[in-house]
């Protein structure tokens, strides 16, 4: 079980801003899974809530990953910034995928690099 957050690297977010966007994606996506499948959510929760943060080059690539996740019946959520600090309102920053079975998520995101 794991959750993956995919963030855009082209936005050049400050470290704090990136952390907040990842936190939004993790929470919203996890709550969506909880609502859809409580058993799956609890399994992930009790397994230690594994999370991985990966990166893509830009919005187009991010949305392609999002669509592939949806097509494979994975819970996912697009995060748009409110525009109060570094970005224009509505800027798409990242997506949350899962939590779900690792192999299902890796099928979609397995080739993406880690955010470092």
Which CATH number does the domain 2-109 belong to among 3.40.1490.10, 3.20.20.70, 3.90.1300.10, 3.40.605.10? 3.40.1490.10
Of 32, 4, 2, the closest CA to residue 109 belongs to 4
> Which pLDDT value is given to residue 20?
97
Strand (E) or helix (H) holding 7: strand 2-8
Q: Are residues 94 and 22 in contact, defined by beta-carbon separation less than 8 angstroms?
A: yes
Q: Largest Cα–Cα distance of the chain, in whole Å?
A: 38
Reading across the β-sheet that carries 2-8, which strands appear in turn?
51-56, 2-8, 92-100, 76-80
The mean per-residue pLDDT over the stretch 36-50 comes to: 97
Tens of pLDDT, residue by residue over 50-105, are 999 999 999 999 999 999 999 999 999 999 999 999 999 999 999 999 999 999 99
- Count of beta carbons in the 10 Å neighbourhood of residue 24: 19
Q: How far apart are CA 41 and CA 48, in angstroms?
A: 11
Rg (C-alpha) for the chain, rounded Å, is 13
Taking the C-alpha atoms of residue 69 and residue 77, their distance in angstroms, rounded to an integer, is 10
What is the pLDDT at residue 14? 96
Closest CA to 66 of 94, 86, 42: 94
């Amino acid at each position: 079980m794991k959750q993956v957050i995919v963030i855009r690297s082209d936005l050049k977010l400050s470290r704090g801003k990136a952390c907040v966007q990842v936190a939004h994606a993790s929470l919203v996506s996890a709550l969506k899974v909880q609502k859809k499948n409580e058993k799956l959510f609890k399994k992930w929760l009790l397994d230690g809530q594994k999370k991985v943060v990966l990166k893509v080059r830009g919005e187009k690539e991010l949305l392609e990953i999002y669509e592939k996740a949806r097509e494979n019946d994975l819970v996912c959520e697009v995060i748009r910034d409110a525009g109060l600090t570094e970005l224009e309102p509505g800027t798409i920053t990242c997506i949350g995928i899962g939590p779900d079975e690792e192999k299902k998520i890796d099928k979609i995101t397995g080739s993406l690099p880690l955010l470092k």
